[in-house]
Amino acid sequence: AQSVAQPEDQVNVAEGNPLTVKCTYSVSGNPYLFWYVQYPNRGLQFLLKYITGDNLVKGSYGFEAEFNKSQTSFHLKKPSALVSDSALYFCAVRDSSSGNTPLVFGKGTRLSVIA
Amino acid sequence: GAVVSQHPSWVICKSGTSVKIECRSLDFQATTMFWYRQFPKQSLMLMATSNEGSKATYEQGVEKDKFLINHASLTLSTLTVTSAHPEDSSFYICSARVGGGRVETQYFGPGTRLLVL
């Protein structure tokens, strides 16, 4: 079975500082990993994904994520946070060997960027 | 990226009535769509996988007779909450799968907030 853990319910960071939102995963095969962002009363917006290749993935709005196979992690990062980055962030995984199974989501991490 | 729409965005209904929510892929065809439910401050809970031209696959614990899913075309899936009750009040989100294998990505609709009185 595949699963995702986001250990932090809430992350607070000052505007202009770097931010990290943590994610670890568990799959039996090779993972496809995703990050989504959700603004209040809105659906999820795709940020980035890791399928294969370079471990550092760059996505929308200046976000990036680093795939670390040994630590089974896929932490989301941004060098300089903006107040507008405040939102709910979801990490998701799918086992590449499991056919057409849907994504499995973490419980989400609320990011608050303080001016 | 691909655009997915949902209608309505907000619905308030009386207990016992049925509510239909539409999910459309606007600029692509989606053979597979997913329906999720999200409670306040919680993650998305997958309810069912909707495949065009065939019956939906429901997750364990989701009543298929209560949450009717129809995927009649490659751009439209509908979720009907039958005989809604207050405990069905939630945020319902659909997504559509684009591509397959390595290039697969799920794009999400904006969600529909249902309040059953």
A31-48, pLDDT tens digit by residue? 999 999 998 877 789 899
Determine if residue B101 is left, alpha or beta; phi over 0 gives left, psi from -120 to 50 gives alpha, anything else beta: left
- Taking the Cβ of residue B90 and every Cβ of chain A, the question of whether any pair is shorter than 8 Å is answered with no
Q: What is the pLDDT of residue B1?
A: 63
The pLDDT-based confidence of B48 (bands split at 50, 70, 90) is very high
- Taking the Cβ of residue A40 and every Cβ of chain B, the question of whether any pair is shorter than 8 Å is answered with no
Q: Is the pLDDT of residue B14 over 80?
A: yes
Q: What is the pLDDT of residue A100?
A: 65
Q: A99 versus B92: which is more confidently predicted?
A: B92
The pLDDT-based confidence of A103 (bands split at 50, 70, 90) is confident
Instruction: Tokens 């995927």: give the residue.
Output: B71
Pick A46's closest partner by Cβ from B1, B6, B34: B1
Neighbours of B39 (CB within 10 A): 11
| Residue B4 CB partners (closer than 8 Å, separation 6+) | A43, B23, B24, B25, B26, B94, B95, B96, B107, B108, B109
Q: Is the pLDDT of residue B61 over 70?
A: yes
Tell me what the mean pLDDT of segment B38-67 comes to: 88
Question: Which three-class secondary structure state does DSSP give residue B72?
Answer: strand
Tell me what the mean pLDDT of segment B21-26 comes to: 94
Question: In one letter, which amino acid is B62?
Answer: V
Spell A69-94 as b/e; 16+ CB within 10 A means b. Answer: eeebbbbbebeebeeebbbbbbbbbb
Tell me what the mean pLDDT of segment A53-80 comes to: 95
Q: What is the pLDDT of residue B79?
A: 96
Tell me what the mean pLDDT of segment A56-61 comes to: 93
| Chain B interface disruption, residue of A39, A42, A61, most B CBs within 10 A | A42
Q: What is the pLDDT of residue B19?
A: 97
Cα separation, A1 vs A23, whole angstroms: 17
- Taking the Cβ of residue B1 and every Cβ of chain A, the question of whether any pair is shorter than 8 Å is answered with yes
Searching chain A, which residue's CA lies closest to the CA of residue B92? A43
- Taking the Cβ of residue A83 and every Cβ of chain B, the question of whether any pair is shorter than 8 Å is answered with no
* CA-based nearest distance A17→chain B, Å: 25
Q: Which of B8-22, B46-60, B78-92, B99-113 has the lowest mean pLDDT?
A: B99-113
